[in-house]
Amino acid sequence: EIVMTQSPLSLAVTPGEPASISCRSSQSLLHSNGYNYLDWFLQKPGQSPQLLLYLRSNRASGVSDRFTGSGSGTVFTLKISRVEAEDVGVYYCMQSLQTPRTFGQGTKVEIK
């Protein structure tokens, strides 16, 4: 099983400032087809999770271009260029390279 590790586990950000979340995997998520099988989800308070980014850096439908994914292999980063109040919630990375799918522990983002 691939173990996913996120850091930090919590983050307080001033509106308009950038934020960054790291996700590391215990095995490379780089497939021979050149894609990194790493997805990012956001679970807003009281809501179901929603897909933000898939295959490392592709934004899901309707996702703001303030969200950017980068990295390769075993180290990945989610960056929010300018945090807004609507971005609060818990962010999860997930590997989709193999079963079982595995999630990181989650990073709680709050507004200062």
Give the interface with other proteins as residue ranges (CB under 8 A). Answer: 1, 39, 41, 43, 48-51, 54-55, 58, 60-61, 90, 92, 94, 96, 99-106
Nearer to other proteins, 14 or 64 (CB): 64
Min separation Cβ 9 and other proteins, Å: 10
Q: Which residue has the tokens 């087809």?
A: 33
Min separation Cβ 105 and other proteins, Å: 5
CA 42 to chain centre: 8
With contact defined as beta carbons under 8 Å apart, do 89 and 109 qualify?
yes
DSSP label at residue 37: -
Q: Phi first, then psi: what are they for 28, rounded to 5°?
A: -60, 140
Nearer to other proteins, 76 or 92 (CB): 92
Residues present in the chain in total: 112
Min separation Cβ 47 and other proteins, Å: 8
Min separation Cβ 95 and other proteins, Å: 10
Alpha-carbon torsion 106, 90, 18, 62, what sign? positive
Nearer to other proteins, 18 or 37 (CB): 37
